């Protein structure tokens, strides 16, 4: 099936083989509007790249650490979507440099709509307690027509680091270093992130300059566990982990993740912003936590 059009705006998607960018490609492919989609990867031979090519999407090779690569793939682009993957290197300096390089290249290429997967400018909201989102500010101030589509916490995190675990006595426990009343903004990212990017491109009240929160719903940890139990019939409980206990199991990124979770707890995932306006012109419905629990194969319940 040829699913990327030969007319319509040229949309370059950085991160197209990943969760967010992959979702962006699928939602634009599924749109009733035409797009010429260019999927960027460092490796055009990997299975995720081949799957895109098989769908009729143009797949090109580029590394965001190369300005030459970015200039090449942005040539002729009308819209650029970009996400950087902090967790691959966990180097805050590199994250900022890559982000600025992408912004500079998009601006030089005359891109008319730059869509950035940013996060809240946390240091401004929390008075410097947490640091993040320098690139968001840089993009905004660069003069490039920039929209921000912030990804909520992936529901998929509850299949990995935040997954419920069987205890030696057979009971099932969700253990997270936050109070049970703390709310988490949730998104089935692989399925639904692209719906918000499509909204920013196509929605009448959106367009360049938008600030969208890609979030299906905000639930407290208590609600997350009780809905999990309702849907699966399990009897999981919630345990507020001590910080040290979390750090002992969270791996090398533990401190960074703990800071993020404490940010959600203290200031709200989106710093207290209302998610309702971001749902206004979604072309397709997005999945709730209940939907996600229902469709997920929970190994721990097998």
Size of the site for ligand NAP (CB under 6 A): 24
Toward ligand NAP, which CB reaches closer, 92 or 166?
Answer: 92
> What is the β-pairing status of strands 183-187 and 217-220?
antiparallel
In this chain, which of 10, 11, 17, 212 binds ligand NAP, going by CB under 6 A?
Answer: 17
In this chain, which of 11, 12, 20, 261 binds ligand NAP, going by CB under 6 A?
Answer: 20
Toward ligand NAP, which CB reaches closer, 53 or 237?
Answer: 53
In this chain, which of 33, 34, 65, 92 binds ligand NAP, going by CB under 6 A?
Answer: 65
In the complex, least distance from residue 186 CB atom to ligand NAP, rounded to whole angstroms: 9
In the complex, least distance from residue 7 CB atom to ligand NAP, rounded to whole angstroms: 26
User: What tokens appear for 16 in the block?
Assistant: 């197209």
Q: Find the helix or strand (DSSP H, E) in which 80 lies.
A: strand 79-82
Which residue from 174, 261, 184 is spatially nearest to 218, judged by alpha carbons?
Answer: 184
Toward ligand NAP, which CB reaches closer, 138 or 237?
Answer: 138
Toward ligand NAP, which CB reaches closer, 47 or 143?
Answer: 47
Select from 24-32, 121-129, 146-154, 284-292 the region that touches ligand NAP (CB under 6 A). 146-154
Nearest residue to ligand NAP, scored by beta-carbon proximity: 18
User: Is 179:223 a contact under the CB 8 Å cutoff?
Assistant: no
Toward ligand NAP, which CB reaches closer, 159 or 223?
Answer: 159
> Which residues inside 76-135 make contact with ligand NAP, applying CB under 6 A?
83-88
Q: Is 64 in the site for ligand NAP (CB under 6 A)?
A: yes
Q: How far is CA 214 from CA 18, 96, 161, 293, in A?
A: 16, 22, 21, 19
Select from 28-36, 60-68, 228-236, 240-248 the region that touches ligand NAP (CB under 6 A). 60-68
**Rounded-to-integer distance, Cα 189 and Cα 155, Å:** 7
In this chain, which of 4, 26, 36, 41 binds ligand NAP, going by CB under 6 A?
Answer: 41
Q: Is 154 in the site for ligand NAP (CB under 6 A)?
A: yes
In the complex, least distance from residue 71 CB atom to ligand NAP, rounded to whole angstroms: 14
Torsion over CA of 201, 288, 294 and 237, rounded to 10 degrees?
A: 140
In the complex, least distance from residue 129 CB atom to ligand NAP, rounded to whole angstroms: 18
Sign of CA pseudo-dihedral 128, 131, 137, 138 = positive
Please, which residues have CB within 8 angstroms of residue 248's CB and are 6 or more apart in sequence? none
Please, which residues have CB within 8 angstroms of residue 37's CB and are 6 or more apart in sequence? 4, 11, 13, 25, 28, 29, 57, 58
In the complex, least distance from residue 138 CB atom to ligand NAP, rounded to whole angstroms: 16
232 CB-contact burial (10 Å; exposed 0-12 / middle 13-18 / buried 19+): middle
Toward ligand NAP, which CB reaches closer, 33 or 42?
Answer: 42
What single-letter DSSP state applies at residue 2?
Answer: -
In this chain, which of 123, 157, 226, 240 binds ligand NAP, going by CB under 6 A?
Answer: 157
Please, which residues have CB within 8 angstroms of residue 153's CB and are 6 or more apart in sequence? 184, 185, 186, 187, 264, 269
Please, which residues have CB within 8 angstroms of residue 302's CB and are 6 or more apart in sequence? none
Footprint on this chain of ligand NAP (rule: CB under 6 A): 14-21, 41-43, 63-65, 83-88, 151, 153-154, 157
């Amino acid at each position: 099936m040829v699913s990327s059009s030969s007319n319509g705006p040229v949309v370059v998607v950085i991160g197209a083989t990943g969760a967010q960018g992959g979702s962006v490609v699928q939602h634009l492919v599924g749109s009733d509007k035409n797009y010429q989609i260019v999927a960027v990867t460092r490796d055009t031979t990997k299975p995720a790249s081949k799957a895109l090519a098989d769908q009729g999407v143009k797949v090109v090779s580029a590394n965001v650490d190369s300005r030459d690569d970015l200039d090449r793939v942005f040539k002729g682009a009308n819209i650029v979507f970009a996400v950087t993957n902090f967790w691959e290197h966990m180097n805050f300096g590199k994250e900022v440099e890559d982000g600025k390089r992408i912004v500079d290249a998009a601006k030089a290429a005359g891109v008319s709509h730059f869509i950035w997967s940013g996060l809240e400018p946390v240091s401004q909201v929390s008075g410097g307690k947490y640091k993040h989102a320098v690139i968001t500010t840089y993009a905004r101030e660069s003069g490039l027509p920039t929209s921000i589509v912030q990804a909520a916490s992936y529901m998929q995190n509850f299949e990995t680091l935040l997954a419920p675990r069987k205890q030696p006595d057979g009971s099932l426990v969700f253990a997270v270093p936050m109070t049970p009343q703390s709310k988490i903004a949730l998104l089935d990212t692989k399925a639904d992130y692209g719906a918000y990017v499509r909204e920013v491109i196509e929605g009448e009240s959106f367009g360049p300059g938008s600030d969208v929160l890609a979030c299906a719903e905000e639930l407290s940890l208590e609600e997350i566990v009780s809905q999990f139990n309702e849907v699966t019939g399990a009897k999981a409980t919630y345990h507020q982990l001590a910080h040290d206990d979390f750090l002992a199991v969270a791996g090398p990124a533990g401190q960074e993740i703990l800071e993020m979770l404490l940010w959600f707890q203290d200031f709200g995932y989106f710093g207290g912003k209302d998610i309702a306006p971001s749902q206004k012109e979604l072309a397709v419905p997005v999945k709730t936590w209940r939907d996600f629990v229902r469709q997920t194969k929970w190994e721990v319940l097998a």
